[in-house]
Structure 1
Amino acid sequence: MTEQASPIVTFYLQGWENYQQALVATIASLSSEQLALPVAPHYLSIGELLAHMIDARVSWFSRWLGEENAGMAHWHEERSRDEQAVHEAAKLVAIFEKTWHVISSAMTRWTSADLEQLISPPASHQAWLQNQGLEEEPAHTRQWIVWHVLEHEIHHGGELSLALGTYGLKSFYTW
């Protein structure tokens, strides 16, 4: 008998998928000029904020959990070379969709036992922390990582929504 997907994953998946669809619809409508607008004075641009959200998906799902596709690997390579790249809506939408495919596929596949599994930080992450004079990161459960990425998106989605509203642009809603 095979174990079914965790009920908590199924709960997260539907809500997160609605969030994902609303987010990409909003991003697709933005011009390059709108993506260059600052979220707030002396803060990231809207495009940089979206790239930061993608970075978190790639870091946690690819580097920590080993869930990856070619789009995620390409994004990581590009960001490693040039973090100040100009962001185009179509490219951001494409990578949000590619990362979402990885996230939803993993969450559909994971069981309750999978969610309880401890995941050790990547060695490169630990080395970076040591070079910064910081303590090493502890292992986290898959469930903790899923929630952490989701709360990160909710937090920055709020910033995005506020910024869009400030400029009189249509924000995103999940209902």
Structure 2
Amino acid sequence: MTTERREPAPDLDERAMLEGWLEYHRKTLAWKCEGLTDEQLRTPAVAPSNLSLMGLVRHMAEVERSWYRRVLAAEDAGPLYYSDEDPDGEFRLTGSDTWQEAHTTWQAEIAAARRNAAGVPLDEPTRGRHLRTGERYTLRWIHTHMIEEYARHNGHADLIRERLDGATGE
């Protein structure tokens, strides 16, 4: 595995610290997926779950899109993989779903997140509102939530990866 991750320095200011930990966890998920075939990346963790590494990446693309485009920037950005009829669509993979597409889409959403967050004060209310709750948030809240979301799913990714090929690591 070649993805390089670095924990943020302990003396950073709040924004750099939040962004540093978010980047660390984004890279951790990429690292957990490196060197696997599309078939392995589509392989569910354990029956009856359909949780897979590719599904996690697609899910995180949706989460990045939702928080940084819809909520933070009030962009009209519809779902990528799910629908009202299939709210867990990002986890339902077929043989035609590819890592190339999932990874490219995820990276595009990360790039949009970075652009939309740049220059926004941590404590300013978001332009958009959460689809379900109608609430506004702050960038501080969104960054903190995203760190938690990635950390939780990186724990899932650890277990899936170990099951696939025995690879472990923090």
TM-score (norm 2): 0.70
User: Whole-Å Cα distance in 2 between the matches of residues 59 and 35 of structure 1?
Assistant: 23
Deviation at 1:13, TM superposition (A): 1.9
| Structure 1 Cα separation of the partners of residues 162 and 99 of structure 2 | 18
- Residue identity opposite 1:38 in structure 2: P
RMSD: 3.0
Instruction: Pick from 97, 101, 111 the counterpart of residue 107 of structure 2.
Output: 97
Q: Describe how 1:7-26 pairs up with structure 2 within 5 A.
A: 7-26=13-32
Find the partner of 2:60 among 53, 66, 79.
53
**Unaligned residue ranges in structure 1 (runs of 5+):** 1-5, 127-135
1:157, distance to aligned residue in structure 2 (A): 1.0
Provide the residue aligned with 2:37 in structure 1.
31
Tell me the percent identity: 18
User: Which of 72, 85, 105 pairs up with 1:65?
Assistant: 72
Counterpart position of 2:9: none
Structure 1 residue 164, shift from structure 2 partner: 0.6
From the two aligned structures, give the one with the greater helix fraction: 1
Alignment-derived partner of residue 154 in structure 2: 157
C-alpha distance in structure 1 between counterparts of 2:13 and 2:100, whole Å: 34
1:91-170 matches, within 5 Å, as 91-110=101-120, 114-119=121-126, 121-122=129-130, 125-126=131-132, 136-170=133-167
Q: Give the 3 Å change call, closer, same or farther, for CA 79–39 of structure 1 in structure 2.
A: same
Measure, in 2, the Cα distance between the counterparts of 1:76 and 1:27: 23
46-55 or 24-33, larger mean C-alpha shift: 24-33
In the TM superposition, what is the alpha-carbon distance from 1:25 to its structure 2 partner? 4.3
Query: Aligned AA for 1:109?
Result: G
| In 2, Cα distance between equivalents of 1:12 and 1:160 | 22
1:109 Cα deviation after fit: 2.2
Aligned residues: 150
Structure 2, unaligned runs of 5 or more: 1-11
Higher RCO by CA contacts (8 Å cutoff, separation 6 or greater): 1
